[in-house]
Amino acid sequence: MEVHVWLNPYRVNLAKTDTSMLAPDHIFRRHPEWFWCYNQQWYFDPGLPQTREWICTVVQDIISRYDIQAIHMDDYFYPYPAGRKKLPDEGTFARYPRGFDNIEDWRRNNVNLAIEEISMTIRECRPDIQFGISPFGVWRNASVDSTGSQTTAGITNYDDLYADIRLWIREGWIDYVLPQLYWEIGKPAADYEILAHWWANEVRGTNCKLYIGMAPYRLEGASPKTAWGQGNEIKRQMELNRTIPEISGECFYSTRPLLRNPRHVCDSIKQAYNPAPTLPIREEEKEAEEPLLLPWE
């Protein structure tokens, strides 16, 4: 078993969590000028060099003091859009433009710099530690970029979260990518099968491993009219994964539904990772005309 430390680089709190709960010496209290609020949540300002430096300091502290195997970042980079609310970063853009005249390109560069610097920090301090990202499942739709996936997702990494995962894979900044493919096979807007192949194509020829984030929670209480309510969709998806050589494994969100084993999903997972053993065949049996039947057949 490996320990992968899960971090979100920019979030300070959740909308339901008051900042009064933060410790007196929290960096949020020591440097309030490093943060902005969006949709009732506080975030580190990604455009500040101090933000990148602090994140790397935290990562260095973790990997130097604890026996872990990876730093793992989730899908939360710039916040998910909240209607038409604008991000409050125009002031930072004016102060630190770094040669950019387009704020969206600048935002992507902010995150790129952070990921590159985190990667360098890990490699300089503990090269045995992996660095992985678990992004939202769609990098970009083909309707706006011909190299994107044949999807019509309302939100994408590149255009809305300012996370250019493809670049991080190609530059070798991350050791594994674990896209959250929480949709069913055949879903019109975001087909699991299309996306599994798209991500496989992105890692092909690189040193970045691909694992798939899957959603057993959707098996619980699903309508019989949906794919999730008609059968064990997770089993179907795992069987599909086995046909794609670039997929090295799966990750399941979350533990709670697995404890309840909806639609016997845990049995399917066990079968996939621990298939029934085959019995050894004696030399004289190899020449038998009839195939040997195992006890459970």
Render pLDDT for 41-93 as a digit per residue (tens, 0 to 9). 999 999 999 999 999 999 999 999 999 999 999 999 999 999 999 999 999 99
Q: Where are the beta strands (DSSP E) in the chain?
A: 4-7, 35-38, 41-44, 70-73, 130-133, 176-177, 209-214, 247-252
| Section 178-204 average pLDDT | 97
Answer yes or no: is pLDDT of 284 > 80: no
pLDDT category at 29 given cuts 50, 70, 90 is: very high
**DSSP output for 181-237:** --S-TT-SSS-HHHHHHHHHHHHTTSS-EEEEEE-GGGGTT--TTSHHHHS-HHHHH
What is the percentage of the chain residues whose pLDDT exceeds 90? 77
pLDDT category at 280 given cuts 50, 70, 90 is: low
Q: CA-to-CA distance for 152 and 149, rounded, in angstroms?
A: 9
pLDDT category at 286 given cuts 50, 70, 90 is: very low
Cα four-point dihedral sign 149, 251, 107, 204: negative
| Section 105-113 average pLDDT | 98
Answer yes or no: is pLDDT of 276 > 70: no
Cβ-Cβ contacts under 8 Å for 188 (sequence gap 6 or more): 152
Q: Write down the pLDDT at residue 263.
A: 86
pLDDT category at 294 given cuts 50, 70, 90 is: very low
pLDDT category at 122 given cuts 50, 70, 90 is: very high
| Section 106-121 average pLDDT | 98
What is the percentage of the chain residues whose pLDDT exceeds 70? 93
